Amino acid sequence: MPQINAEPYAFDFEPARAALLIIDMQRDFLEPGGFGEMLGNDVSQLRRTIEPNRRLLAAWREAGLFVIHTREGHRPDLADLPPEKKARGRSKTSIGDPGPMGRILVRGEPGHDIIPELYPLPGEPVIDKPGKGAFYATDLAEILRHRGVTQLVVTGVTTEVCVNTTVREANDRGFNCLVLEDCVGSYFPEFHIMGLKMIKAQGGIFGWVAPSERVIAAISH
Ligand code: TIU
């Protein structure tokens, strides 16, 4: 079994029982002119993750391994949008309103979709999730169980929000998570650093952290 040199200690990697989980690499979070930038966020902090994710995804596909993509968003009728989530932040423009790339975080709108650099291939499951965690109100757990997946290699945005929430949910459901530090990002560099520390502290309380090149080396022949 390949071992990945990781923090806080080596990760026993079982590619056949692993899924690559790419979280919320959506145009509204990453693209200049999108919802994230409209809120005053520095999207370059997220855009630096695109190239490492692209390289990893290419190697992962080449090795014939299982990949799942997620998108945060809501039904066009907003029936699954908690009024509290819409109201929080007190922004003039919020989820469901017309934004720079269609209605903000609404399924089917251009801004809600995944960036072209990492676009899912036919046959790669896409999980539409209404919350920050990818397990909440989705069929992710069933999809993983049917495939015999026990390990998640986690990438995407943002480190302290949807990535951390999902890793915590996965941890409580018995999955081992390896988070790839160069493939996750936050609008806030200090939250990114602390978000990774929180995962690997206390002997790997939620999982492991490593750079993506080590996973690429383990799956490339
Ligand atoms: N995907 C995800 O992290 N959703 C967010 O809203 N993140 C923020 O950092 N705002």
Give the Å distance between the CA of 111 and the centre of ligand 1. 14
Q: In the chain, how many domains are there?
A: 1
Is the CB of residue 157 below 6 angstroms from any atom belonging to ligand 1? Answer: yes
28 lines ligand 1 (CB under 6 A): no
The CATH number covering residue 77 comes to: 3.40.50.850
| Model confidence at 83: pLDDT above 90 | yes
Calculate mean pLDDT across residues 41-52. 97
**Backbone phi and psi for residue 111, each to the nearest 5 degrees, phi listed first:** -70, -25
Q: Is the pTM of this model over 0.95?
A: yes
Phi/psi region, residue 124 (left: phi>0; alpha: psi -120 to 50; beta: rest), is beta
Q: Is residue 165's pLDDT more than 80?
A: yes
- Assign 132 a pLDDT band (cuts: 50, 70, 90): very high
Determine the pLDDT at residue 44: 97
Dihedral, 110, 88, 43, 126 alpha carbons, nearest 10:
-40
Question: What CA–CA distance (Å, rounded) separates 221 from 214?
Answer: 13
Domain with 145, as residue range(s), is 3-219
The reported pLDDT for the residue numbered 39 is 87
